[in-house]
Chain A
Amino acid sequence: MTTTLPAPGAALKVARRRSLKPTLVIGLVLLLVLLLAAIFPRLFTPYSPTDFDYTAILKGPTLKHPFGTDNFGRDVFSRVIHGTRIDLQIAVFTTLFPFIFGTLLGALTAFRGRWADAVVGRIADLVVVFPFLVLVIAIVAVLGPGLNNMYIAVSAVGWVSYWRLTRGEVLSQKKAEYAQAAQVLGYSPARVLLRHLLPNAVTPAIVYLMTDMSLGILLGASLGYLGLGAQPPTPEWGVMVADGKNFMVTAWWISTFPGLALTLAGVTFSLIGDGLADALRPRS
């Protein structure tokens, strides 16, 4: 006796339609633009981001300098484009370690909890009682300003969210019968965790990763603004906003365009996060 399967067409159509959600598509297109700017900045920029030009100081947007020039005569457009690489790098390096470490730790403590779970839980409590930014600034202040030390500081604090998310998700997936089945099938704990539980539990963390990347850029920019992150003359968007703050009234373009670039990057990651949340949900 053989039962017939439903036509594959319907299900496939739904799957395809879902992966083509406009938010995800727009987000990916924007990301592609950002990546191009980050990898091949010279394709877009006529000027060096750091060369001074005392003949063209504080010029407003013109065809020659679409975003104007700053107080050293540097082309703001070129600096914004070159800043893409630094800021995307910040987005990745402030989130990648927290994501990997937090997710794995969350999966492990949820899976083989008991005392490890309790200990990590207390440490996480310790970390979150301090306001995020204050703690990061304190760590950077101890280690010294600079991008690398900023990455260390953010990583020391940022893993907690991923740990929480993944832990909760693994705890609930553990109760699903497929996880019990994997155990009864005699699979090793590593296989049950990595092959069965984690792929079904990691989605919220990935979605959060996207939001976190835009937060990471903002954080990097904030620290750059405070002089604790990237150091001048590095064309980092936060540093550029800080550089232009004294000229806000007379030369609004120095701060505004890097600020808009920050917003664009933030929107890009948010859109991708939204789209991924939908695309990664298992169909049922």
Chain B
Amino acid sequence: MTLSDHPLLEVTGLTKTFPVRQSLLSRWRGQPRRAVQALTDVNLSVKRGETLGIVGESGCGKSTLARTLVRLYTADSGSVRYGGQDVLALSGAELRGYNRRVQMIFQDPYSSLNPRMTVGQVLREALGVHKMRPADQIPARVSELLSLVGLPAEAANRLPHEFSGGQRQRIGIARALALEPECLIADELVSALDVSVQAQVVNLLLELQERLNLTVLFVAHDLRLVRHLSHRVAVMYLGRVVEVASTEAAFEAPKHPYTQGLLAAAPTLDPGSRSLEPAISGELPSPLNVPSGCAFRTRCKSAFGRCATERPLLSDTGDGHMVACHLYSGAGPT
């Protein structure tokens, strides 16, 4: 597998808000339109063949980011470039071509498959719509895809409800692979599965990535898993990317106070490393009302005056370790 330096996917200034439905009365009273700040000025790049882990808590925007990248959501502003193509401007056949190359695997093994279609129908449909194979080769390809994800060929005649959660995730992966994509976006791929089954699906992803030279965006809240799988990690908080670094740097020497707190809060398997104080105090602010300046400042032990007034920008602190924190932008607290 080769990691080229040239980014395959490049996200710049991506912003997405979801307006909150308002009654006519409150609109007439001139109350300002409220909106969920799902993504604010997100900058990221993904290299070909790499696995980028995206972590954060609920409301941090990681799932919105994934869905915006595959054009399920329409971005408010910013740009997404994929292999030189302006993704946000695509439509029609070009958009379908992009979707073929960038596929998504969904979180919920129970709702991500059409309950009325057999596994074979699901795969044949994907192969047929995109004319991946001539009609006479489609049955063979269906069996091939199933064996690729570790399912027997008879699975094609079954309906989704006949499978376990882990097997359904395999079917979801097979469906995405039917289009022979270059890039997979996995949104909480295993978080709905039992612990003893997670490792099976993780291994499958690793094996397929190796074999098919896939680029993977691994969106998850399980830090242990992200650490194991990712080459690089992006940490998000309230719609913003606060830190991007190599996996080793992000986990061994995190720079952003939020990343440090998040790592400390995640329960490790070592009963001896128990702390009595919570790693981060305070509540997650509402995404309807993101704090001014740095979104994390209300829970940050190191916050100082500038954090409330000026939004820290993601900047390189050396070796590609990017942090959005005023502690690292020269003028620290005085």
Q: Are B179 and A185 in contact (CB under 8 A)?
A: yes
Does B172 sit at the interface, judged by CB under 8 A? yes
CB neighbours of A200 from chain B (8 A): 114-116
- B72/A183 in contact, CB under 8 A: yes
| A283 adjacent to B159 (CB under 8 Å) | yes
Is B166 at the interface (CB under 8 A from chain A)? yes
Is B104 at the interface (CB under 8 A from chain A)?
yes
Contacts of B54 in A (CB 8 A): none
A177 interface neighbour in B107, B126, B130, Cβ under 8 Å = B107
B155 adjacent to chain A (CB < 8 Å) = yes
The 8 Å CB contact of B154, one of A1, A5, A185, is A5
Q: Which of B115, B126, B167 contacts A283 (CB 8 A)?
A: B115
- Given A177-B112, A185-B179, A186-B96, A6-B103 contact (CB < 8 Å): no
Instruction: Determine the distance from Cα of A161 to Cα of B100 in the docked complex, in whole angstroms.
Output: 39
| Residues in B49-100 with C-beta less than 8 Å from chain A | 67, 70-72, 95-97, 99-100
Q: Is B113 an interface residue (CB 8 A)?
A: yes
B116 touches which of A5, A181, A282 (Cβ 8 Å): A282
**When the two chains form their complex, are residues A178 and B111 in contact, meaning their CB atoms are under 8 A apart?**
yes
Query: How far is B111's CA from A3's CA once the two chains are assembled, in angstroms?
Result: 21
- The size of the chain B interface, using a CB distance under 8 A, is 46
B162 touches A181 (CB 8 A): no
Contacts of A282 in B (CB 8 A): 115-116, 161
Interface pick from A70-78, A140-148, A191-199: A191-199
Alpha-carbon distance between A182 and B147 when the two chains are bound, in angstroms = 22
For B152, give its contact among A2, A186, A188 (CB under 8 Å). A2
User: Which residue of B107, B129, B161, B162 contacts A187 across the interface (Cβ within 8 Å)?
Assistant: B129
Contact between A3 and B130 (Cβ–Cβ < 8 Å)? no
- Cβ–Cβ < 8 Å partners of A182 in chain B: 114
Tell me the minimal C-beta distance from B291 to chain A in angstroms. Answer: 30
CB distance from A11 to the nearest CB of B (A): 5
B112 touches A181 (CB 8 A): yes
B156–chain A nearest beta-carbon distance, Å: 11
Contact status B150-A195, CB under 8 Å = no
* A6-B147 Cα distance, complex, nearest whole Å: 17
Instruction: For B112, list chain A residues within 8 Å (CB).
Output: 176-178, 181
Partner of B129, one of A6, A176, A178, A185: A185
Contact of A185 among B99, B110, B113, B158 (CB under 8 A): B99
Residues of A within 8 A of B108 (CB): 177
A181 to B175, CA, bound (A): 9
Rounded to whole Å, the gap between the CB of A171 and the closest CB of chain B is: 14
A195 partner residues in chain B, CB cutoff 8 A: 125
Q: Which residues of B contact A196 (CB under 8 A)?
A: 114
- Whether A3 contacts B150 in the complex (CB less than 8 A), given A180-B72, A186-B130, A200-B115, comes out as yes
Give the size category of A's interface with B: 20 to 34
For A2, give the chain B residue with the smallest CB separation. Answer: B150
* Assembly CA distance A5 to B162 (angstroms): 8
| B163 CB within 8 Å of chain A | yes
Contacts of B302 in A (CB 8 A): none
Asked whether B218 is an interface residue with its Cβ less than 8 Å from the other chain, the reply is: no
Give Cα A199 to B97, complex, Å.
Answer: 27
In the complex, A13→B178 CA distance in Å?
Answer: 32
Task: A123 to B175: give the CA distance in the assembly, Å.
Answer: 41
Cβ-defined partner of B111 (8 Å) among A176, A183, A184, A283: A176
| Complex contact A6–B107 (CB within 8 A) | no
Name the A residues within 8 Å of B154 (CB-CB): 5
How long is the Cα–Cα vector from A11 to B200 in the complex, in angstroms?
24
- Asked if residues B100 and A284 are in contact (CB atoms below 8 Å), the reply is no
> Does A131 make an interface contact (CB < 8 A)?
no
Q: Report chain B residues within 8 Å CB of A176.
A: 111-112
Residue of A nearest to B164 (CB): A6
Asked whether B170 is an interface residue with its Cβ less than 8 Å from the other chain, the reply is: yes
Question: In the assembled complex, how far is the CB of residue B206 from the closest CB belonging to chain A, in whole angstroms?
Answer: 12
Residues of A within 8 A of B151 (CB): 2-3, 5
Chain B residues with Cβ below 8 Å from A283 are 115, 159, 161
- CB nearest neighbor in B for A183: B72
Are A186 and B162 in contact, CB atoms less than 8 angstroms apart?
Answer: no
Q: List 22 A-B contacts (CB under 8 A).
A: A1-B150, A2-B147, A3-B167, A5-B162, A5-B167, A6-B162, A6-B163, A8-B158, A176-B111, A177-B106, A177-B108, A177-B111, A178-B113, A178-B114, A178-B115, A180-B106, A181-B113, A184-B99, A186-B96, A186-B99, A187-B125, A282-B116
Q: Which 8 A-B pairs have the closest CB atoms?
A: A282-B115, A186-B96, A186-B99, A177-B112, A177-B106, A283-B161, A178-B114, A176-B111
Instruction: Given contacts A4-B152, A177-B108, A283-B161, list 19 more A-B pairs with CB under 8 A.
Output: A3-B170, A5-B151, A5-B155, A5-B162, A8-B162, A11-B162, A176-B111, A176-B112, A177-B112, A178-B113, A181-B104, A184-B72, A186-B130, A186-B179, A187-B129, A195-B125, A199-B114, A283-B115, A284-B110
